[in-house]
Amino acid sequence: MANRTYLFACNQKPTGKPAPGRIIIGLSEWNYDIPLAYRILVSANPETCFSSIWTEPADPSVVPQHMAVVGESAPGLARLKEVFTRITLPQAQRVINASLEFLDRPDRKLGYYFLEPAELFAMDDNEEIPELNRKLCASLAALDEEIDAAVAAINAGSEEGLQVFRDFGFGNWSTVLYYDIDEPRPASA
């Protein structure tokens, strides 16, 4: 099994415990990385938060740690759309359009995107998951250079640029993920 990063949409900030009226829907998962598209989506006013996958420590005396990141979905999606307008590579347009069709559905616009990277961070033997998560959250304020470099590489159309495009985080959109958080789904999901 591959270690993955999971992307969800939700109507409330994750608290690590079920909450009345909370809706969570899976959006995507990615093996062995945190794709740039995911980071862009959660980059609007990001905060660390409790995980909704890894909810409770086995020992009740242990305080749960923040192992996920949440950001506002409307400005995150607007930022991703702006990046899409800058990608001119003809081969990319079909995938971009499919991504927009998936993300623009009303039942997927719930107010927040949240990223669950703990499974990926568990592979790091040097730092604890909450510290890696804190660093990830802090890094979301400085994505502009990485975005510019990715767009330039993709538009160049070279083999390297095509690999950057494949690694961007498109193409794995699905509401069915390995971890299905047991929360109500919108009626049209």
Tokens 């958080």 belong to 181
Query: Where does the pLDDT of residue 145 fall: very low under 50, low under 70, confident under 90, or very high at 90 and above?
Result: very high
Q: Identify the bridge partners of residue 24 per DSSP, sorted by sequence position.
A: 10
Q: Token digits for 17? A: 């415990």
**Residues 16 and 55 sit within 8 Å (Cβ to Cβ):** yes
> Would you state the pLDDT for residue 189?
43
How far apart are alpha carbons 86 and 98 in whole angstroms? 16
Residues 103-119, mean pLDDT to the nearest whole number = 92
Closest CA to 136 of 46, 3, 18: 46
How far apart are alpha carbons 57 and 169 in whole angstroms? 31
Mean pLDDT for the chain?
86
Tokens 């568990």 belong to 122
**In this structure, what are the phi and psi dihedrals at residue 80, rounded to the nearest 5 degrees?**
-65, -40
If you compute the radius of gyration of the chain from its CA atoms, what whole number of angstroms results?
A: 16
* Concatenated DSSP letters of 123-144: T-SSS-HHHHHHHHHHHGGG-H
For residue 100, pLDDT over 80 is answered with yes
How far apart are alpha carbons 6 and 67 in whole angstroms? 12
The reported pTM is: 0.89
pLDDT in tens, 71-82: 999 999 999 999
Q: Token digits for 88? A: 């001119």
Task: Decide which of 130 and 185 is more confident.
Answer: 130
Domain ranges of the chain: 4-167
